[in-house]
Structure 1
Amino acid sequence: MNDATDEAPPIDPWLLGKLVCPVTRTPLRWDGGRQALVSDAAMLAFPVRDGVPVLVAREASAL
């Protein structure tokens, strides 16, 4: 059984490894259930629209 959080991100894995939270500068992780990049340090989920991460704090949703 495949869990939604195991879903592959819609962005290149190399790029995902380079992205950091714009608030805390800590690494982001993909959450397939939310379809967002999550900053555990900031407790924020950043949306990905058409394969493009939207790393703007006011666009993020709180966890």
Structure 2
Amino acid sequence: MKIDDWLLEILACPACKSPLRAELDADELACTGCGLVYPVRDDIPVLLVDEARKP
């Protein structure tokens, strides 16, 4: 997964607006607030609540 650090700093969870952290081993972004996990497909974060999964 290739997400630039500057982009990761401005991305936020669409559900609770908390910062996201990269899960490098699983190609996912995890919310630091509500815990939803968003997929990253072809190095593009899919920040849709309907696509997120609960950990």
| TM-score, L = length of structure 1 | 0.79
Q: CA deviation at 1:41?
A: 1.3
- 1:40 is displaced (CA, Å) by 2.6
Q: Which has the larger radius of gyration?
A: 1
Q: Distance in 2 between matches of 1:27 and 1:40?
A: 6
Unaligned runs of 5+ in 1: 1-8
**2-structure distance, mates of 1:52, 1:10:** 9
1:9-56 superposed Cα distances (whole Å, 9 cap, x missing partner): 411111011000000001000011221010031111101111110000
Between the aligned partners of 1:56 and 1:42, the Cα distance in structure 2 is: 14
> What is the Cα-based RMSD across aligned positions, in Å?
1.1
Segments of 5+ residues of structure 2 without an aligned counterpart are none
Moved over 4 A (4+): none
Equivalent residues, number: 55
Aligned counterpart, 2:22: 30
TM-score w.r.t. the length of structure 2 is: 0.88
Hey, what does 1:4 align to over in structure 2? none
